[in-house]
Structure 1
């Protein structure tokens, strides 16, 4: 889309959202600021589709290595691992009651992350962050971070003013009501932790979808859209490579609906995308929409909304397949009836574990019973009353390096961009002490803090020196896999065709092997994953035998092929 088209798109979308012509003065202000930013932005356009070839590493700066200086020390290590993009979990100024997703100031980095006094000026903090970005870019690493577009902290200056009373100019930045009778069809997201979406404050109630200290913004007020757009413009000027748009399905509220995935939400995202394209094309806009794929793909629009989105339902189905040693759950969730085809410029972001729970929100009651029953081995790991499991990958997979390697083989070779959650490359365990500390400090029994503990680099180094440790074995497997993945673009960009392996022994009604062909620009790779805890001999695939090279081991592969329990092969044909 040309620059002129971007501006026209913003005008058209604005007029569809805001019918009142009195709001056009705000529109003209927005357009003037976008055009000015496009002219003054010193950062060149990014390569088209760069996120398709990325290996993303997700981390909390403080929990990873203390500060940005500590993170900078580890940049060469991340690059050696095979990482090409860092996803910074919340770093903006916050009271930290929800791990930084409760933002107090959208333009200020938390001083503790920069190892600066709290009194350090905003300008000095911004300079320190730009220095980090420069170092990351010198190491060949893109940087994206979280921006909560749906809500703020109750300590944000807008809300501090808003709660002063109905006549305050910031009152309509948020949603207030005399009672709780609005938006009654809206589901409770934090079941078991928040009893209502409304919180009493004086004589009024304010609306929130998450914790009661995170009031929702009111996008019916166009000034809010202008303010959030300004935040995007600011970070574009600093050189950020992309944004993870947090909780976007909830940003528009409409009486008589469930207040999710409404048309106006899509229009607002289209405006944000047009702004990014106008100022710095190919800046990643990543949809954090915990929704079924049929809804998530709508946030790709016609190539005019988000570039990419998380595939939330695939993750629990990978775990189900591993639990029952059957490929069908993965095959079913990636069937076009569940996961629609997407345009070539769009991408799924894939993960095994992240900073939140293993969500079971979008699985059937039967699947929830299977997955929760198999993996929630400690009742303390339960999240949202059976709708999730708060556990690290190593804990879920019995601290078994072979199981972890198999899970990574699946994630790294299915269509999409993979995300590594910090510490998982070392088989990091749950952190009970960190969870207990948070629970005592906040009074919130948020079990997700089991998976958010700090890295102990001294202990990790000691474990790596022992080739028999879980840490060493897992790290060796994942580093080898990532190096192999970096040798080809077929996994990030190629087509996917399911394959049917013929086994030497009858496995009755199960499909213990997950196999598929990936193909891109003349290159073809056969991926074979043995989900079984038994060795299996594969006589042929799709009725044919093949000869090829194992991308990971470098040795020749031919059929019949014997796979050890929980083993995998990536065969370049």
Structure 2
């Protein structure tokens, strides 16, 4: 058997390992990868370029404990709420890190293999996966300084003795790109003397050393565990920083891309329906490289969308949003975008580089400050502090205009933002607080000292049920947004890979055309991005004269295909020649 021919899967694994670890025994390491992942070398490859999603896919982003009820595991509370109120609105749940952690609200993981007891148990996640697709975070770049691995590192014992990236404090690391202002290296006393470990983020988050293949094998065990527990969508957190070479930027390095290809290869052979999403909050053109040749991420985050959309809605000018959308190449079959307008983090500003001018960025930042936002910074290779993200709830971010400040159009602006996200090419993802119109949680910021806490409110279920069942803006937001999700899920033209073309209707109206994969449904999405009424002629859309055209939002039928349409401030229409059937629960 020693000289048995290698299977196609083994050959592909070896090819990836050759790039990542040029000096190791690739055949032996490939066998370890297969054994660790419990994969038969003869496993057949899944069919390439498959779309593992359709227009019914909408994701909910939430912490495991955002919803709390007395005497109940938060994961159980979440499952009950989502199943009873959102089963006809969403298809997938992104559970932000639910492991024991020491800081950063979960992203400083102490133990990757257990569920934080304060949230629940693995059984809760298995049960959730029976009703919804579940996305879990693979916090792959770093782990907690209070983890067993790091304790072992300091003691010089395994597993962990060589798990962390060390650097020479005298080396020239000025080219390193990172999203924080804290010192890059942390001095640590170990059994083997003083060491300096690499901390891309905080000093509680120590970067793992993937130059050691044992780290790779450890993460393969972790991924396999998650697959066994029902997780099928994997978010690779901060993966752009995975590989380090001093003297370089240490971001987006070739070995990082090769590692993603290897993980993709193994995961999709074990579970052909599994999906990989890379979390790479970087300038747009760099972000697009994580699609690879449809062999890296299935989905990438549209990080430029939140800042550009919010900028358009508070300035009343969609020029930059339109230019950006025109520059986005259609994702090839088997890949697509993950669209979001708010998340557990802030509104990233790096994705606006090359898109907004310095003056426009400053105006956006000052407007968000006016609406209660906080600004987080990063350090450039030149040692300069630059704004990195705006920390604010989406509800507050859209409370007014840059020119006039807070106004009466907050709800309309908010719904318009949701309407844009749901209509664009890609899979839409709602941060749970965007369903409720949750406000800035200033008290939580004061308690934690962390700006990001402003958008990480914890809802007591009695309070949430009260505001959703009484005439509040929370109720209005929830009812309106969930109604839109049901409409969206029924339209073939909203398939994540359906054709999309940007329309030119000036700087006040943002518009694009979608067409279903079978070309039977055409849909024109037109948005008034201003606080004034805006009109356009239907003749500008070149509607097919023989079809009946209906606005799916208002259900108004447009019989005069050359008529004039006036949109109230932030009103939008989804004009379609066919209506998809909305499923009733």
TMscore range, shorter length: 0.7 to 0.9
- Report the TM-score, using the length of structure 1 for normalisation: 0.87
- What's the counterpart of residue 506 of structure 1? none
CA distance in 2, matches of 1:389, 1:324: 17
- What's the counterpart of residue 51 of structure 1? 53
CA distance in 2, matches of 1:45, 1:104: 37
* 1:475-523 Cα distance to aligned partner (Å, 9 max, x none): 222012111101113222311112234xxxxxxxx62111111001221
CA distance in 2, matches of 1:38, 1:85: 31
CA distance in 1, matches of 2:557, 2:246: 62
For these two proteins, the number of residue pairs brought into alignment is: 531
State how 1:310-329 maps to structure 2 within 5 Å: 310-329=301-320
- What's the counterpart of residue 250 of structure 2? 259
Q: What SS class does the counterpart of residue 387 from structure 1 fall into?
A: strand
Q: Structure 1: give runs of 5+ residues left out of the alignment.
A: 115-124, 440-445, 502-509
Aligned partners of 1:288 and 1:309 also within 8 Å = yes
Aligned partners of 1:46 and 1:283 also within 8 Å = no
CA distance in 1, matches of 2:104, 2:343: 15
- What's the counterpart of residue 187 of structure 2? 200
- What's the counterpart of residue 75 of structure 1? 82
Q: What SS class does the counterpart of residue 107 from structure 1 fall into?
A: coil
Q: What SS class does the counterpart of residue 114 from structure 2 fall into?
A: strand
Structure 1 range deviating more: 150-159 or 457-466 = 457-466
CA distance in 2, matches of 1:487, 1:359: 31
* 1:39-87 Cα distance to aligned partner (Å, 9 max, x none): 99xxx99995333431000011112235112122213234346011000
1:526 shift after superposition: 0.8
1:208 shift after superposition: 1.1
Q: Please provide the CA RMSD for this pair.
A: 2.5
Aligned partners of 1:512 and 1:532 also within 8 Å = yes
Q: Cα gap change, 1:45/1:55 in structure 2, threshold over 3 Å: closer, same or farther? A: farther
* 1:141-191 Cα distance to aligned partner (Å, 9 max, x none): 1111111111111122221111235x8773321112352525331134112
1:19 aligns with 2:25: no
* 1:316-339 Cα distance to aligned partner (Å, 9 max, x none): 111111122122111111223xx3
Q: Structure 2: give runs of 5+ residues left out of the alignment.
A: 1-5, 378-385, 400-408, 578-585
- What's the counterpart of residue 93 of structure 1? 100
CA distance in 1, matches of 2:99, 2:49: 27
- What's the counterpart of residue 350 of structure 2? 361
1:456 shift after superposition: 3.2
- What's the counterpart of residue 570 of structure 1? 574
* 1:525-567 Cα distance to aligned partner (Å, 9 max, x none): 0111011211122123536467511112222034211211110
CA distance in 2, matches of 1:362, 1:82: 29
State how 1:99-138 maps to structure 2 within 5 Å: 99-114=105-120, 125-126=121-122, 128-129=123-124, 132-137=125-130
Aligned partners of 1:431 and 1:453 also within 8 Å = yes
Structure 1 range deviating more: 384-393 or 512-521 = 384-393
1:24 shift after superposition: 4.7
- What's the counterpart of residue 382 of structure 2? none
1:417 aligns with 2:417: no
Q: Cα gap change, 1:473/1:497 in structure 2, threshold over 3 Å: closer, same or farther? A: same
1:383 aligns with 2:383: no
CA distance in 2, matches of 1:289, 1:135: 27
The structure whose residues are more often helix, as a share, is 1
- What's the counterpart of residue 281 of structure 2? 290
Select 2:460's aligned residue among 445, 456, 460. 456
- What's the counterpart of residue 238 of structure 1? 229
Aligned partners of 1:176 and 1:206 also within 8 Å = yes
CA distance in 2, matches of 1:411, 1:308: 15
